[in-house]
Structure 1
Amino acid sequence: MDVEKVFHMSGGVGKTSYAQNSSLQKVASDMVKHITMETIRQLYDEITPRSLGLADLGCSSGPNSLSLIKDIVEAVEGSSHEMFGPLPEFRVFLNDLPTNDFNSVFKSLPDFYRDLKKDRNERCPAIFIAGYPGSFYGRLFPNNCLHFVYSSYSLHWLSKVPPGLDDGHGKSINKGNVYISELSPPSVPQAYRNQFRDDFSLFLKSRSEELVANGRMVLITLGRIDQEHVDRGNSFFWEILSRCLAISVSQGEIEEEKVDCYDVHFYAASRNEIEDEVRREGSFGLERLEMFEIEKQVKDGETYGTAVAMTVRAIQESMLCDHFGDGIKLDALFSNYAKMVDQEMAKQEINPITFLLVLRKL
């Protein structure tokens, strides 16, 4: 499966779209917004560029895409006012894979500019926004054109499903599991770990060439607490998806062989793995690494299981449909998923963790 051609968040603004089901990600980014804004202010105070280059990598679509830009503009405005200097122009590059619903982002731009003017007596800062489709595992921008890079809930997605998850004859060695599980042989977590190292190293190297000296990155990514790959956190949500797919098999909707060869291109890295790779690659200094859990906020009348199920569906639907075809019944699949999450939460908390990284180009 070619991830770059298939993988994307569900577009549009419908009930199952990412735009309607990305509130958990927004809660997380808001929880650490003070760190993001502190970083951008420090950067601006040090460099004071006349033209500030910003990139949001893995911007997706929906309201989260542009809310960050508004926050950054306001933070820089505050710093420039304190320094009695002119406000810089903002060059904003929104990046995601080519299949991303960029159109919905662009359609929201008139409202975005209108809101900015409303708070500023009909005057708007000079903001130039462009879409940059492509994988961030490799070069995207010209040399030294960026001052600040932001990426929220994107770097746990690998560039591809790791090689080495079959026996060399097309048979899966991770049967019945879409990710690392307690039943996975040792070669499975090793394959995922190797792919993470290759991808993250390439990401860091590529960004180091695109950022100016002392440029900053703020990265928010899912992870795990310790060296154990299987925990009651992010890996457990994939365990639940594996169980739900098994139900679909038992009901004759999809083939067991199809499930056996469905593996997600995801990796929840540990703190040590992240620190080691930053140190080994050598282009950045790790100024901050925070671990936190998302506050479990849900809409009125909605369970936590439903909120998680709808979020996972908005993220995985493109991959599931491409792999399983029309036979898979997504409504039933994610109804089961929601029920299982709620049942498990009644037994014991599920605590997926998130890391926030602040890096400075050396």
Structure 2
Amino acid sequence: MDLAHVLHMNGDVEEASYANNSLIQQKAISLGTSSRIKAITNLYCAVYPRSFAIAELGCSSGPNTLSVIYEVIKVVEKLCQELNHKSPEYKIFLNDLPGNDFNSVFKSLDNFKNKLRDEIETEMGPCYFFGVPGSFYDRIFPNQSLHFVHSSYSLHWLSKVPNGVDNNKSNIYVTNTSPSNVLKAYYEQFHIDFSLFLKYRAQELVEGGCMILTFLGRESDDPLALGKGSSYGWELLAMALNDMVVEGIIEEEKLNTFNIPNYYPSPSEVKLEVQTEGSFSINQMEVSEIMGADGVYNTNAFDSKSEMYESVAKGTRAIIEPLMIVHFGEGVIDEAFDRFKIILESGISKERTKITNLTITLIRKP
């Protein structure tokens, strides 16, 4: 499976679209607000760019896509007013894989610009937007062309399913029942991918440029101490798929050859890769938590717990459905997520999950 051609979040604005089912991602972005404001303030005051280049990597589509861009511009405009500086022009690069719903993003740009102009009291510089399709595990921008790079909930996606995990029977991710070689393969792929990501961004950022990355991760250095953490949803989805194998709805071989291309690193693993690659200094590293569905969803907005878990299931479907359709076929998707919702109700409601976020602020060394 060539992930670069099939991996994308569900597009458009349908019921199972990413745009309508990305509250967890929105929560994670909001948790990093203070770090971003501090980093943007320091960057602007160190560089005073007349043309400010910002890249959002793994932008997807929906309300989260432009939220950080909006925040960055407001911070810079406030600084310009305080320092009596002329507003810079903004070059905004939106990157994701080619299957991303860029059309929805482009259609929202006029509203975005109008909202900015309404909220900023002085005349701001022009905003130029660019869509940049391609994998961020390759070069995607010219040398020293960017001042600020942001990516949230994207870098836990690997460039491919690791090699040598065919013996991860009945699992779709790393679990306590996975053979040791599976864990090693997942970590090795993360090492390869993240080191390339750092290498290429170092070439694309100006000296002193800033990069803020938020991963889905784990707290423990023990990769098997997963508990009810970020990967727990994949365990529950695997339960639904295994039930469908038992009932003959899905072929066993199909399940045994399906593995999620994610890796949830620990803080020490992220730090090690940054220090080993060597192009960036670590300005700040934060670990934050979102406690289960109740920490994301407004429970008062639902008539029942069942309705809330249906929203959780839709959020998972918005992320993984395109990969599942390619592997299993479209005909089993509704059934798989109906079962997943039932398992969510009986499983997560008994023990609260904990989603761990790792946010790291990096500065490009001279």
Please, what TM-score do these two structures have when normalized by structure 1? 0.95
Matched, 1:305 2:309: yes
Select which of 310, 321, 325 maps to 2:325. 321
Matched, 1:341 2:340: no
Matched, 1:189 2:183: yes
Report the equivalent of 1:168. Answer: none
Pair 258,117 (structure 1): closer, same or farther in 2 beyond 3 Å: same
Matched, 1:227 2:231: no
Aligned length, in residue pairs = 355
Distance (Å, rounded) in 2 between the aligned partners of 1:265 and 1:220? 17
Counterpart AA for 2:208: N
RMSD, aligned CA: 1.5
Matched, 1:208 2:211: no
Report the equivalent of 1:20. Answer: 20
Matched, 1:157 2:157: yes
Distance (Å, rounded) in 1 between the aligned partners of 2:223 and 2:340? 21
Counterpart AA for 1:131: G
Cα-to-partner distance string for 1:58-83 (whole Å, 9 max, x where unaligned): 00001111122111110001111121
Following TM superposition, by how much is the alpha carbon of 1:99 offset from its aligned partner in structure 2, in angstroms? 0.5
Distance (Å, rounded) in 2 between the aligned partners of 1:125 and 1:309? 42
Cα-to-partner distance string for 1:229-285 (whole Å, 9 max, x where unaligned): 231201221111110111222333221110000011100011111111111000101
Select which of 167, 172, 176 maps to 2:170. 176
Identity across aligned pairs (percent)? 42
Following TM superposition, by how much is the alpha carbon of 1:334 offset from its aligned partner in structure 2, in angstroms? 1.7
Q: Structure 2: 5+ residue runs without aligned partners?
A: none
Q: Structure 1: 5+ residue runs without aligned partners?
A: 166-171
Report the equivalent of 2:239. Answer: 243
Counterpart AA for 1:228: D
Matched, 1:217 2:211: yes
Following TM superposition, by how much is the alpha carbon of 1:297 offset from its aligned partner in structure 2, in angstroms? 2.6
Matched, 1:269 2:273: no
Counterpart AA for 1:264: I
Distance (Å, rounded) in 2 between the aligned partners of 1:120 and 1:270? 39
Distance (Å, rounded) in 1 between the aligned partners of 2:223 and 2:69? 35
Following TM superposition, by how much is the alpha carbon of 1:124 offset from its aligned partner in structure 2, in angstroms? 5.1
Please, what TM-score do these two structures have when normalized by structure 2? 0.94
Higher mean alpha-carbon deviation, 339-348 vs 238-247, is at: 339-348
Q: Secondary structure at the match of 1:148?
A: strand
Structure 1 contact 58–154 (Cα < 8 Å) conserved: yes
Following TM superposition, by how much is the alpha carbon of 1:22 offset from its aligned partner in structure 2, in angstroms? 0.6
Cα-to-partner distance string for 1:298-333 (whole Å, 9 max, x where unaligned): 1511645333321110010100000011331x2332
Higher mean alpha-carbon deviation, 257-266 vs 343-352, is at: 343-352
Report the equivalent of 2:146. Answer: 146
Q: Secondary structure at the match of 1:177?
A: coil
Structure 2 contact 138–196 (Cα < 8 Å) conserved: yes
Structure 1 contact 253–327 (Cα < 8 Å) conserved: no
